[in-house]
């Protein structure tokens, strides 16, 4: 018998037993539809009117026809109840756009650049645009919940879903996620922070047990989610497949209740990843509110059995429903009709292109090889293996978007050349995956003025990459083509960091991530100078794979321990650039690195106060000047080194801003380090006290253009608690200092 048939049988068997709970529909207007009441009041009134069977039916998703949209055979929804005016709650995947949504086949939507690319923009406004497009299109398609943003760490570059996440730094990830969440929810769409927590790999993802120290868990892997709750007011969270220190994530009382709700004050609801529920009473009591995609454990029969055996009380079910209904009322889901409206394909596509242009990272540009001069170049040879050279590249799995349109690399180059009124020709040579026709590629390279090699990796949910080297011997392909024509730029389209053994022989390398539907236009406009690269790396590029923090089998992908796949996060706090700093390993390209077609200078650092009580904000002021010949943007990054006794890595990112400057223009920037912010920039986690603490001692405030290019630095002192003596006089009050909000003003 199928799960669906089991569910229907359970409903029939319970109908008579639950008849006493039935209540007739009210003749008067339903009281919970009164919009003058608070969302909490409306949720409480609704739950009072529900029968127990109706409550059971609302505890899990159900596939089938959506009553409000009869043409939609959906797989991601909770069916509504018409007598109570509970609408069908429709859910979509979507870290990189409206992906696998409720109806099948999935409706087309804008395929945005990958989330890791959005993070590479280091621009809060870009994250807002990202969420705005997804939120607007969710409303266009009558969808209510967006399963995103993805906020897991790029702990291992091999991770198959790194393209859906936001890089290796928890502060960057949380900052960008908060902006996206706020934009999504401004459209009345539930944002769902996922995957809670530490779902950092796909290998054995259903069974892996991760051993993570409590301090490491709070300072690295939980931190973006804490920011999403406290700064983003996120309406929902998705618990993940993996186990952390033993319990399954969807029945872990410590993370779902003690941390998420008690420590952080989360008032939203928790949904399981699809098939991540492992029990009825333990999961519900731990804090799981909604099972997806269909009931296996939260069936009417199982819930009734748990009630009968007194493992749970009806109040536990009411609590789970109240959490979800409160968010649905808060975001207007009960109060708006189901309406399907056209997506602004051209407008949203233009935004996707802008996002892609800010996301791309210029890794290398020897002797100003780029941008190409469209009026001097006579011929451009595009060369590469499929799919990088043949189509618009995006990641796979449940986040994959059915794009409204796509722009191929050749189309994009032709579009850009035409826009510049260039007479140059562009050709495409597709290299076989076994390089068997490499001679044809060499011939094309020899015949062209300039060559663009398109290379990369394709990754997807459900599988990790076996290596971070380019697959299908693309390194050999690149080396042969560069040898044939040294006027070659390499464009990477990949998941996260990649090994690049040929960089010393290539004059220019552009990292474009997975550009999405506007792929061809994004890459061509950057290469021809119609857009100036301004992205920064959200991950570290190593010289060798063994330089990475997780470089043993026990660390990744894990080993068998008594029949359970187990992985140990033994690198502790030293993830990403923190590992390279602590072990003095030189990366190929550091975190935060990214060049431009112009140059910038940082100067005149002023940090106030010099002596702090550890409670009030620290103001970091400096100048950014465009000393080159083109307009462009720089991303000054503020790092903080904690006192040595704190036992932290050498530094952590605590602030950044994207500053746009005309040639010769100079701006004064103020970045605040607020100890009270949810990212705890000056804090360490005290596992014994289960609280954050700010160590006393010397702190180094650094301002730079990457994690290794740091020209400015000043020290401050945080006094012990008993030495404060009301020293608030050290804090100048001439400017407001909102937590991690950056104020940029023209220098006078």
Active site members: 273
Is the Cβ–Cβ distance between 117 and 355 less than 8 Å?
yes
Distance between CA atoms of residues 631 and 463, nearest Å: 41
Hunting for tokens 């990459």 — which residue is that?
Answer: 465
The CA distances from residue 38 to 42, 192, 584, in Å, are: 6, 22, 55
Kindly tell me the burial class for residue 45, based on how many C-beta atoms sit within 10 Å of its own C-beta (0-12, 13-18, 19 or more): middle
Residue whose structure tokens are 């620290």: 618
| Gyration radius (Cα) of the chain, Å | 27
- Dist CA 150 CA 173 (whole Å): 9
What are the E-state strand segments in 41-115? 64-66, 69-74, 77-78, 89-93
Contact 372, 131 (CB under 8 A): no
Q: In angstroms, what CA-CA distances link 505 with 214, 366, 372, 520, 619?
A: 45, 10, 18, 25, 43
What six digits make up the tokens of 404?
A: 């409204």
Rounded CA gap, 164 and 496, in Å?
10
Kindly give the interhelix angle for 39-49 and 314-330, rounded to the nearest 10 degrees: 140
Going by C-alpha positions, the residue among 15, 87, 458 that lies closest to residue 78 is: 87
Question: CA 11, 17, 23, 24 torsion: positive or negative?
Answer: positive
d(C-alpha 377, C-alpha 365), whole Å: 18
């Amino acid at each position: 018998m199928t799960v669906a048939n089991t569910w229907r049988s359970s409903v029939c068997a319970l109908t008579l037993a639950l008849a006493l709970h039935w209540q007739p529909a009210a003749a008067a207007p339903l009281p919970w539809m009164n919009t003058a009441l608070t969302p909490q009041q409306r949720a409480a009134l609704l739950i009072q009117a529900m029968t127990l069977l109706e409550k059971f039916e609302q505890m899990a998703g159900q596939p089938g026809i959506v009553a409000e949209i009869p043409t939609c055979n959906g797989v991601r929804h909770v069916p509504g109840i018409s007598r109570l005016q509970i609408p069908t709650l429709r859910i979509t995947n979507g870290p990189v756009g409206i992906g696998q949504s409720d109806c099948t086949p999935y409706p087309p939507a804008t395929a945005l650049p990958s989330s890791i690319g959005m993070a590479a923009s280091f621009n809060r406004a870009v994250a807002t645009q990202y969420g705005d497009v997804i939120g607007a299109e969710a409303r266009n398609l009558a969808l209510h919940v967006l399963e995103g943003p993805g906020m897991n760490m790029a702990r291992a570059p091999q991770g198959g879903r790194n393209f859906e996440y936001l890089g290796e730094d928890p502060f960057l990830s949380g900052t960008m996620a908060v902006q996206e969440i706020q934009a999504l929810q401004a459209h009345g769409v539930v944002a769902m922070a996922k995957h809670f927590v530490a779902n950092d790999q796909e290998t054995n993802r259903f069974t892996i047990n991760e051993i993570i120290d409590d301090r490491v868990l709070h300072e690295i892997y939980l931190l973006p989610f804490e920011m999403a709750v406290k700064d983003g007011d996120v309406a929902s969270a998705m618990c993940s497949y993996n186990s952390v220190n033993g319990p399954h994530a969807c029945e872990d009382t410590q993370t779902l209740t003690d941390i998420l709700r008690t420590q952080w004050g989360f008032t939203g609801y928790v949904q399981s990843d699809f098939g991540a529920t492992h029990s009825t009473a333990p999961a519900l009591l731990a804090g799981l509110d909604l099972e997806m995609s269909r009931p296996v454990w939260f069936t009417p029969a199982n819930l009734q059995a748990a009630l009968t055996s007194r493992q749970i009380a009806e109040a536990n079910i009411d609590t789970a429903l109240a959490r979800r209904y409160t968010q649905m009322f808060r975001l207007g889901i009960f109060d708006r009709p189901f309406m399907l409206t056209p997506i602004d394909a051209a407008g949203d596509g233009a935004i996707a292109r802008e996002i892609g242009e800010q996301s791309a990272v210029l890794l290398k540009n020897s002797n100003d090889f780029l941008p190409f001069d469209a009026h001097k170049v006579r011929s451009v040879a595009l060369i590469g293996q499929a799919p990088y050279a043949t189509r618009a590249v995006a990641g796979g799995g449940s986040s994959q978007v059915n794009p409204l349109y796509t722009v191929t690399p050749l189309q994009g180059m032709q579009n850009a050349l035409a826009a510049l009124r260039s007479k140059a020709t562009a050709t495409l040579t597709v290299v076989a995956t076994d390089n068997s026709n490499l001679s044809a590629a060499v011939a094309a390279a020899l015949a062209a003025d300039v060559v663009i090699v398109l290379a990369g990796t394709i990754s997807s949910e459900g599988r990790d990459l076996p290596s971070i080297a380019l697959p299908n011997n693309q390194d050999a392909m690149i080396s042969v083509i560069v040898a044939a024509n040294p006027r070659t730029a390499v464009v990477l389209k990949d998941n996260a960091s990649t090994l690049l053994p040929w960089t010393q022989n290539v004059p220019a390398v552009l990292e474009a991530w997975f550009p999405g539907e506007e792929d061809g236009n994004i890459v061509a406009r950057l290469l021809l100078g119609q857009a100036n690269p301004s992205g920064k790396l959200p991950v570290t590029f190593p010289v060798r794979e063994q330089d990475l923090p997780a470089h043993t089998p026990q660390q990744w992908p894990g080993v068998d321990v008594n029949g359970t796949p187990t992985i140990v996060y033994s690198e502790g706090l030293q993830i990403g650039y923190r590992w390279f700093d602590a072990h003095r390993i030189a990366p190929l390209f550091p975190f935060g690195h990214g060049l431009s077609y112009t140059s910038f200078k940082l100067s005149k650092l002023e940090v106030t106060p010099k002596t702090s009580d550890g409670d009030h904000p620290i103001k970091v002021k400096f100048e950014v000047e465009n000393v080159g010949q083109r307009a462009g943007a720089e991303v000054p990054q503020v790092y903080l080194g904690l006192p040595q006794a704190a036992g932290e890595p050498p530094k952590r990112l605590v602030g950044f801003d994207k500053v746009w400057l005309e040639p010769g223009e100079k701006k004064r920037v103020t970045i605040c380090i607020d100890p009270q912010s949810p990212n705890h920039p000056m804090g360490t986690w005290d596992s014994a006290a289960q609280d954050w603490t700010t160590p006393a001692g010397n702190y180094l405030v650094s301002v730079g253009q990457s994690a290794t290019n740091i020209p400015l630095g000043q020290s401050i002192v945080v006094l012990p608690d008993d030495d404060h003596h009301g020293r608030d006089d050290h804090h100048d009050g001439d400017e407001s200092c909102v937590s991690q909000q950056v104020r940029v003003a023209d220098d006078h």
